[in-house]
Structure 1
Amino acid sequence: MSHGKIMLVGIGPGSADHMTARARAAIQEADTVIGYVTYIRLVADLLDGKEIIRKSMTEELDRAVEALSRAREGKKVALISSGDAGVYGMAGPTFEVLLQAGWTPPAITLETDEAGHEQRIVGDGIEVEIIPGASALNSCAALVGAPLTHDFCSISLSDLLTPWPTIARRLDAAAQADFVVALYNPKSGRRTRQIVEAQQLFLRHRSPTTPVAIVKSAYRRRQHIEFTTLDRMAEADIGMLSTVLIGNSNTFMQHGLMITPRGYANKYDVTGDRGVKGGERSGRSLSSGLNGWLQSLHADHAAGMSVADLAAQYRLPVDYIQASLDAPLPEPEVSKSRRKTPAASGSPEGNA
């Protein structure tokens, strides 16, 4: 009996121009294509002669069960997701169904024996391939500027499978930690209050004028982009096809672009000769980086500031502050060679 294959395909935002070559090839080589009805329409030009299984929005587990069933018949199955299959997509539920059914990969290498031979577990023969695609946060960010240049996270407002207190805690923590945040599944016909609750949680920690971009149907026929602010966010046209991007405390709007600085201005004179600011060193941590902060922390504590006051000043847990004070101070960074400024050497501050 021939063994089948399940290909978990991320088709990106939905336009042919933004689908990877491997995603197109996987759909073309598949015997069966399974997906949400809207996603099936987005790849209609690749479906001639194939078995098509269309499912509704809430039938994710059914899609995974159908994929397993067809793969057991020896078929190649393309199970498609918009964006990336591993980001709120079909990869997770598919593996849940597979593992509950007792699936193991075709072969798993455990270790080598004394003679140097590999010990392997032979699985049930069904191969699984995950084919990545651009998720909504990538697609939407590309349309509005550079909002994700610094630390960011994504949070789904769908409470169909996740308790609201869990979602609320994540929203509050992300807002307080000053992440740029992408909100998935922000609103539907029945779920209208969640976006308002999210707004109120963010307003506890962010300025009302924080930039917000709302992108609906990115790179599709009915694409719509709206810029607003945090205090007006809930008034915007938001639906299930929207992704909401909330900036951090440094995000700004200029020339119709939403931009989050990486932090070069903390170290370099970005408006002048781009030299290193006083007290900073190119290619080394900021003076307020970990080592510099620890030095300041010890100095402030020695000058009389209590652990509780220091925790309040830095908005960090008291026990973390105490542990930092209890640990020995690190050795100062020693420069082995001079580094050039960004103007001369490109990007010395990590991945740009």
Structure 2
Amino acid sequence: MKQVIYIVGFGPGDRAYMTNQAVAAIEQADLVVGYTTYINLLKEQFPEQEYYATPMRKEVDRCRAAVEEALKGKTVAMISSGDSGIYGMAGVTLEVIEEMHADLEVVAVAGVTAASAAAAVLGAPLMHDFAVISLSDCMTPLERIYHRVSCAADGDFVICLYNPKSRSRTTYLAHAAELIQQYRSPDTPVGIVRNAGRADQKAWLTTLGQLKEEPVDMFCVVLIGNSQTYVQNGKMITPRGYCVADTGAKG
């Protein structure tokens, strides 16, 4: 029987957001492996587990360590915040397993990604087609990122921006907003959620024209509406296209 390695998305980090499958995978694991910040979140909720953490930029080393421990006979949970298959550890873990010719049973566990968590806080901004784009150029050339932003704006997608600003990347969000304004009004609603789904969650609404002035950092998700998005009763809404008025008129 093959040893199991779980690739787990644990949502924002709060157990209330975790799927039952994610909770079960973490509890069944002999070793939980992940990024230091995320391990610290899980230790508060699963204090009985054994953990192995590495800092940022050590993703490949982390995956190799997880695979090596699984090959020794341990059931391992490789964890990611959000969903492991969306900007998470699923891809690199599978690549490392292939590179090491490891004969393991891989079980991917879906999680609540930041876009979903943030959208729920804001109302219903993702009710129509949307694009998720990371503004981090650690893995993707900046010009390609800007091209994707422009294409999404031209296609009238709702745009969800991950990693919008850091201490070293202070101008990317402002430039992205300028690119999007070539295709839509500066009054376009924008929702910002910081630490979505966590105890210190904060959310607020602004406009595309004011976005570059907002106090955004790496812990924020920015959702920019399409040409139909509007705000009502403090909620950001992107219509799906249902004939709400007609339905009401017919009783």
TM range (shorter): over 0.9
> Cα offset for 1:157?
0.6
Tell me which residue corresponds to 1:183: 161
Structure 1, 233-242 or 169-178: larger mean CA deviation: 233-242
Contact 1:4 1:70 in 2 (8 A): no
Contact 1:217 1:224 in 2 (8 A): yes
- C-alpha distance in 2, partners of 1:164/1:91? 24
Tell me which residue corresponds to 2:76: 77
Name the amino acid aligned to 2:205: F
Q: How is 1:187-202 mapped onto 2 (pairs within 5 angstroms)?
A: 187-202=165-180
Name the amino acid aligned to 1:59: K
> What SS class does the counterpart of residue 218 from structure 1 fall into?
coil
> Cα offset for 1:102?
2.8
Tell me which residue corresponds to 1:16: 15
> What SS class does the counterpart of residue 250 from structure 1 fall into?
coil
Q: How is 1:83-94 mapped onto 2 (pairs within 5 angstroms)?
A: 83-94=82-93
Tell me which residue corresponds to 2:148: 170
Structure 2 unaligned blocks of 5 or more: none
- C-alpha distance in 2, partners of 1:218/1:77? 27
Q: Does 1:66 pair with 2:44? A: no
- C-alpha distance in 1, partners of 2:193/2:3? 38
Name the amino acid aligned to 2:11: G
* TM-score, normalising length: structure 1: 0.68
- Quote the sequence identity (%): 47
Tell me which residue corresponds to 1:306: none
* TM-score, normalising length: structure 2: 0.95
Q: Does 1:136 pair with 2:114? A: yes
> Cα offset for 1:99?
1.8
Q: Does 1:273 pair with 2:235? A: no
> Cα offset for 1:272?
5.8
Tell me which residue corresponds to 1:43: 42
- C-alpha distance in 2, partners of 1:79/1:17? 20
- Aligned Cα root-mean-square deviation (Å): 1.6
Contact 1:3 1:73 in 2 (8 A): no
- C-alpha distance in 1, partners of 2:184/2:92? 35
Structure 1 unaligned blocks of 5 or more: 104-123, 275-342, 344-352
- C-alpha distance in 2, partners of 1:99/1:193? 38
> What SS class does the counterpart of residue 106 from structure 2 fall into?
strand
Name the amino acid aligned to 1:39: Y
Whichever of the two has the greater Rg, that structure is 1
* Runs of 4+ deviating beyond 6 Å: none
- C-alpha distance in 2, partners of 1:207/1:42? 39
